[in-house]
């Protein structure tokens, strides 16, 4: 297939003409919907049976599977899916071999190694569904290893945490404290419902692992919850963290406000996710059960997580002392 000059954002053989989407096959133009989302669904239905084109397979995944994920994950899948469609625009699913995947990942890793691994992971998930759908017989990503990336070992000091918190608005300040005291992922924190808070603690069902966890109530945690409820006490939302209209805060909005606070405080390289790392590291230092707090399945995972941020301490030797004989000679 020749690279198209127009409609490059559309899947292979799909075109926009006179306000309507069309699917072209063997010279025949088949009418699709005028609505883009509906047209994509119709396109996926037409191409799914034969597995026609990698862009079609990726679009089917984005239509049928991605919406079942969290809003944040779905948005990321769409962004990465666009890159995958560009990389494999001329391929049929059955034409993709492991060396094709490896080359695409290696090329991406030259400038963005972390994103390269995310592309490989998403492509592998798409191919896993393609196997289930009967489009291909085996996943070509199975034997392609990811790019080795240095793990993040940034530890946020107490002073840095306090500086950003002081520069943040009251909502972000409360979110920071809540994230630290519960040591949970920001995505799970923003979903906490008022009904999940009791005198016993805060109930979480982690979105990433499905782990069910009750973080016990402490005086500090209770005080943060009370301060949070006072922020918009005239409007009661279903979630603990919500805006003036009662609508839950979204990750991207919170992240933007947090970045502004970091910039105002002059603290660089501080991410929202670093608060969980700080909390687990501090919990370990205080002799608490960091593994249980994190919701990890095994201790090895927790130790590896904390070790990347711990700094070993060593006592240096004393300076050599002059002997009494030497002192007398002086």
Q: Where are the domains positioned within the chain?
A: 14-133, 158-307
Per-residue pLDDT of the chain (330 residues; tens, 9 = 90+): 455 667 777 887 888 988 899 888 777 888 899 988 888 878 876 665 444 689 999 999 998 899 888 887 888 999 999 999 988 988 999 999 999 999 999 999 888 888 999 999 999 999 999 999 899 999 999 999 988 877 778 899 999 999 999 999 999 999 999 999 999 999 999 999 999 999 999 999 988 778 899 999 999 999 999 999 999 877 777 999 998 888 999 888 999 999 999 999 999 999 999 999 999 999 988 999 888 898 888 888 787 778 666 776 677 887 887 665 555 555
Please give the model's pTM, rounded to 2 decimal places.
0.62
* Distance (Å, whole) CA 58 – CA 301: 33
Q: Which residues contact 304 (CB under 8 A, 6 or more apart)?
A: none
Q: Which residue is it, tokens 């069910």?
A: 212
Q: Which CATH number fits domain 158-307: 1.10.3720.10, 3.40.50.20, 1.10.443.10, 1.20.1740.10?
A: 1.10.443.10
Residues 52 and 1: their CA atoms lie apart, in Å, by 12
């Amino acid at each position: 297939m020749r690279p198209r000059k127009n409609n490059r954002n559309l899947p292979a053989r799909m075109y926009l003409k006179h306000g309507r989407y069309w699917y072209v096959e063997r010279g025949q133009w088949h009418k699709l919907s005028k609505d883009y989302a509906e047209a994509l669904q119709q396109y996926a239905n037409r191409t799914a049976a034969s597995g026609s084109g990698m862009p079609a397979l990726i679009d089917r995944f984005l239509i049928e599977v991605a919406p079942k994920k969290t809003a944040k994950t779905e948005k990321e899948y769409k962004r990465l899916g666009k890159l995958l469609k560009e990389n494999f625009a001329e391929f049929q699913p059955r034409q993709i071999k492991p060396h094709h995947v490896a080359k695409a990942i290696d090329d991406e890793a030259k400038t963005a190694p972390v994103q390269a691994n995310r592309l490989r992971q998403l492509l592998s998930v798409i191919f896993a569904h393609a196997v289930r759908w009967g489009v291909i017989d085996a996943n070509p990503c199975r034997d392609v290893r990811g790019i080795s990336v240095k793990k993040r070992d940034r530890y946020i000091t107490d002073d840095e945490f306090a500086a950003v918190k002081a520069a943040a608005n009251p909502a972000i300040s409360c979110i920071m404290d809540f994230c630290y005291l519960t040591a949970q992922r920001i995505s799970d924190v923003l979903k906490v419902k008022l009904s999940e808070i009791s005198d016993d603690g805060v109930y979480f069902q982690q979105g990433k692992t499905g782990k069910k966890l009750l973080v016990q109530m402490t005086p500090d945690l209770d005080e943060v919850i009370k301060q949070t409820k006072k922020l918009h006490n005239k409007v009661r939302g279903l979630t603990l963290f919500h805006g003036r209209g009662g609508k839950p805060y979204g990750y991207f909005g919170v992240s933007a406000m947090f970045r502004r606070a970091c910039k105002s405080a002059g603290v660089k390289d501080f991410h929202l996710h670093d608060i969980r790392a700080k909390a687990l590291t501090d919990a370990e230092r205080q002799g608490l059960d960091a593994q249980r707090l994190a919701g990890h399945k095994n201790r090895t995972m927790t130790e590896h997580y904390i070790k990347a941020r711990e700094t070993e301490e060593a006592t240096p030797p004393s300076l050599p002392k002059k002997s009494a004989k030497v002192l007398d000679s002086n």
